[in-house]
Structure 1
């Protein structure tokens, strides 16, 4: 789904989008249709509304710069029109008037552009600083890499088979990638059953067991949505976290109703089981060798929100059992920070 992410910051468009989406929330309460049908209807409506309120401008072939705003583009259009009017009236008595109007618009456009560029870089620096403070270097370096640019595409590079033969046919290349990931992701492992039997499963209290088995609440859904990182690639349903966040309370209520239905029926949407596997070059070694790539899976945003709700419940339980000295893989705690204190 192609939408203009810059328009997601327009408060008027967001308000209209959320207001128009409220009527769709009632569709999730319809018990006459299956979970898959509800989800497909939700995707269809969300796609239509997103394209309606956040369409990509068709009058430009170049990739729009992230710092550009609708206000700047309107001033630039007015400036272009002022140039035409000035040239038309260059030999008339109104030449000075149109010339002054052009200079005014040119000065305004320049000032707005410079101001917006400064604001944009401040926003990017704040995002990088926030990611570093939250111990999220992956997001920080991805922002820096995006700002730096110059990344090379490796989609169409031919690869070698196991014997070193170069594959130039697209079907052979696709078959080789399928073979590579099948071997990489399906590793045969044997686990001693005696070791599994020795693991003592702790007994949960009645209160904790009730909390773990309770249906997702609206607050849990809202918290999980806010915890999701923006500007991430979508899954097979092409719905991004940015669009879900733009839906506001309407999307939160729909997801709450849908998650409750999934929880009661113990049945997930089939779309959640479909993932997109992509390859990323490790930036070392021959690009024609599959071993120099790593694969990542793009999951659907709604399934990640549902998983996040369960993860939050488990983390709340585990955090109460871990010792204070435990720092690794815990929020707002850093092993490096403790080492620094010891030094």
Structure 2
């Protein structure tokens, strides 16, 4: 354990190793460094992958933007960055501890490669610094990628509001993200050592070989932006027409011509409109303008870190803070306008008596799917059914009664209905094989 304060025991971090880990640590040279009262590193040398564990204790989140507290948080991340820069690039880096940071859904929307979907708070300043640090160092906040009950995600209760928050995190290099199998909090362990934080456990199992899934030959994925490009669309039409003229022959049957036509369309579309595999689907409200500002913010943070302690530090820090506020404002404005647009579409769909479109838009806003198992189902007497077999029997009974309706029809009425007739000219037109122009017009529709 390392403790720098001799009088006020305010800080201090430690790394405790069990016997097997201690043997590995001793065999690899017992490398460790007490960087400060808030940062301590231990390196476990083990072939083929070495692990560097860093224990941290970040300053509290600045209250009302107090300058001294803001500078303390900035100095902490500057020191942490200098510590990480010393770690060998091939090492697996685990940074664990109390970051006093809160992460929310906004970080997942703007930095999904760093923060997962399972957050419980609203972001604060320490949370922004944490995300920026991870983005620069290609690290991920592993807690947010695992779904648990809120009681197993949060680790600290605010003494005033009595609300629980997630403050303790485990960071890991992005390339080792799959080696982290689970992160969750344990309530019982906190009382054993007299702390107001719950124990955060991280399960790690190192994968020495990348597990690649076999690619399936699914349907062709096209980039919508490329489909709207007029020049690419013209090239596509020209290439399909050229292949049709050069490779079609009169000896082909209709089925062969159709199969070749489909093949030509797929080949040309794959060549001109194929979607980039690295492109992840983004939120429908997220615009290129917001993404550009996010990139500028990341660049501004890097410039600020590179000018720490210099005359221009104040300038780059103000630039970073201004861009952070701009991102927040742009995201809120775009989200509000997106909701208004979808609400207007829902209203128009209802007015036009189009419930399918209206409910599809409502589901898009709500997100997720209805769980059939959670829907209340009652029998004929109004009793709630909970067993799966009882639910299935009730559905069977319902459809049998609804669809198998006993009806009585007078055969004389059926015989009195005149059979439809068609004009011979129209019948001949319908029996005629469609020409190429008709096929192209049908495809355009």
Q: Which has the larger radius of gyration?
A: 2
Higher helix share: 1
TM-score w.r.t. structure 1 length? 0.43
TM-score w.r.t. structure 2 length? 0.34
Larger relative contact order, structure 1 or 2 (CA cutoff 8 Å, min sep 6): 1
